[in-house]
Amino acid sequence: MKSLSQILMLSLSIFLLSCEMKPTIGFLVANLEQERWQKDIDNFKANVEDLGGIAIVAVADSDEKVQYEQALKMIADGVDVLVVVPVNRTKACEIVKTAHKNSIPVISYDRLIKNCNLDYHISTDNIGIGELQANYLTKIKPSGKYGIIGGATTDNNAYLLKLGQMNVLQPLIDNGSIEIIFDSYTKHWSIHEGYEMTNKYLQESEDIDAIIAGNDDLASGAISALKEHNLEGKVLVAGQDADIEAIKNIVIGNQTITIYKPIESLSYAAADAAIKISKGIAPSNGSVTVNNGKRLVPAILLQAQIVNKQNIEMTVISEGFIKKEEIKKR
Ligand code: GAL
């Protein structure tokens, strides 16, 4: 017969062993500048925990060196898998290389890490998002003067969006229906850059029909510049992320559409893949791969949705992404 203290010791060791066996997943996030990233973090943490793991999170405030240091710390702390939203699409390779030296697999989340032996990629179909934006606006205005405000050059998604936008716009440019009046990438994804680029054009001419912006912050800056020229609501504007500000602008008619990314599903897919990989199981992905310049990386690419004035209720509100009261707040 075992004594009570022996039984207690045994239960304690079993408990400690089960804690130790919980996979630890490190989530490295580039910054919290757009609302969506806090939602990504909250969902990711909850999903990892539901799947029996422990999630630790670090935010790099857009500094690639800080992100590398954060990765080193997580590697030293013994994470089983790293999930990374890279600050810089190529420099983040250093994270992958160091993690691999320590036998830690790396998944890139939302943004692809280029030119290295990345293990897995989870994102949305970003070329598809560019196509959705351009298709929507060109259906309303099949001809006219279009401005393009691209995303950050450090972010691979900026180039994919542009590919998608040009898939739609190029034939219309070639047949003379559409003229591109400005078109540039940005350094960040900031309101300020959206404002500057639009304002620069408006100083020269107010002849403009539509603006396709890489995200809602860039769109919001563009709308501020349009306002200064009394052009808000008269020019079509597309953004991305379904930020509250963008939804408010759509309600009052100053923005035409935004794109709603499936953050809950994205973070679930990443948590699920990370937990599986930590156990040596290959996540199922229907054989999708993306070429990151070095290898065909197994990937999961989810679909995004258009949000316009008519479907706000059916999309972001019904899915709990945004609360109705938030839209009404000034
Ligand atoms: C991109 C992402 C967008 C937007 C942007 C700014 O990588 O795809 O959804 O959030 O970063 O953070």
How many Å apart are CA 63 and CA 273, to the nearest integer? Answer: 26
Residue segments in the chain with a per-residue pLDDT below the cut of 70: 1-20, 330
Helix, strand, coil percent values for the chain (each to nearest 5): 45, 20, 35
pLDDT at 18: 53
Q: What is the per-residue pLDDT for 3?
A: 66
157 CB less than 6 Å from ligand 1? yes
Distance 34 CA to ligand 1 centre (A): 8
Domain positions in the chain: 4-125+263-302, 126-261
Question: Which H or E run contains 244?
Answer: helix 244-252
Class level of CATH domain 4-125+263-302: alpha beta
Reduce the DSSP state of residue 238 to 3 states and report it: strand
Ligand 1 pocket test, pick from 241, 261, 267 with the greatest ligand atom count within 8 Å of Cβ, gives: 241
Give long-range contacts, CB 8 A cutoff, 24+ apart: 74-78. 74/26, 74/28, 75/99, 75/102, 75/104, 77/24, 77/26, 78/24
pLDDT at 17 (0 to 100): 53
Which residue puts its alpha carbon closest to atom 1 of ligand 1?
157
Report which ligand 1 atom has the smallest distance to the Cα of 215.
4
At 44 the pLDDT is 98
User: What is the structure's pLDDT at 283?
Assistant: 87
Predicted local distance difference test score (pLDDT) of residue 330: 66
Confidence at residue 281, expressed as pLDDT on a 0 to 100 scale: 93
What superfamily in CATH does domain 126-261 come from?
A: Response regulator (3.40.50.2300)
Q: Do domains 4-125+263-302 and 126-261 have the same CATH topology?
A: yes
The amino acid that residue 179 corresponds to is E
